[in-house]
Amino acid sequence: MSDLVGFEAWAALAGDSPTSRTEWAAVVRAWGEPHRRYHDLAHLAAVLGIVDRLADDATDPAAVRLAAWYHDVVYDPRRNDNEASSAGRARAGLRGLVPDERIAEVERLVLLTAGHAVEPGDANGAVLCDADLAVLASPPESYAAYASAVREEYGHVPDELFTAGRIAVLEQLLALPRLYRLPVVAGTWEPRARANMAAELSLLRARSASAGGASGPAIPPPAAG
């Protein structure tokens, strides 16, 4: 397990107490659930690592790091309230470990990852969301591995319904004026991410057209980051 998700990293944020150790173990256990293929401990470590790189741009780096720990702590591809449930889990788990005002900020940040729509001037939100969406700017082969892992997480969903849901997610992201808010990464990541998503979207649209479009019950949209 990466040191980024080890207890020492956690304790720097939430203290070294029996309650803190219990909560850390529960959070790590949640991220290690067997149904996760992308939203797992490796993703958590990756997001925390990028938050570390971007921390100087945050107004409360500790809150951003804690939000990273919790942003997908609840992840069930069959549900559409994972971010809300994760925010609630953060509120309950951090009570008594960090100040109430920081808990409120962590909860707000976790909820922000549902749509990654960061308001101007929201430095903490920019750091967390840019870190969470960094995978979109990966080299094409890494992006393909990410997309494949997300598909595995939705293995219970028929291809035509998954394709429709994934198209909706990609269209939503591509419609954002900016995917990344921080100048230190936006210039490099933005064109890469848009190229990756446009290529996937083109492939999915062709697949959908050949299949005659999707029909059936709605599914929670496949995750973006």
pLDDT at 218: 47
Residue 199, burial from CB neighbour count under 10 angstroms (0-12, 13-18, 19+): middle
Residue 95's beta-bridge partner residues?
Answer: 98
**Residue 152 contacts residue 37 (beta carbons within 8 Å):** yes
Q: What are the residue ranges of helices labelled H in the chain? A: 7-14, 18-31, 41-54, 61-70, 82-94, 100-112, 123-132, 140-153, 159-175, 183-211
pLDDT at 145: 97
Task: Check residue 191 and report its DSSP letter.
Answer: H
**Residue 191 contacts residue 199 (beta carbons within 8 Å):** no
14: number of CA atoms within 13 Å, CB side? 31
What span, in angstroms and rounded, lies between the C-alpha atoms of 181 and 140? Answer: 22
pLDDT by 10s per residue, the chain, length 225: 799 999 999 999 999 999 999 999 999 999 999 999 999 999 999 999 999 999 999 999 999 999 999 999 999 999 989 999 999 999 999 999 999 999 999 999 999 999 888 999 999 999 999 999 999 999 999 999 999 999 999 999 999 999 999 999 999 889 988 999 999 999 999 999 999 999 999 999 998 888 766 544 445 556 666
First to last CA, the chain: 21
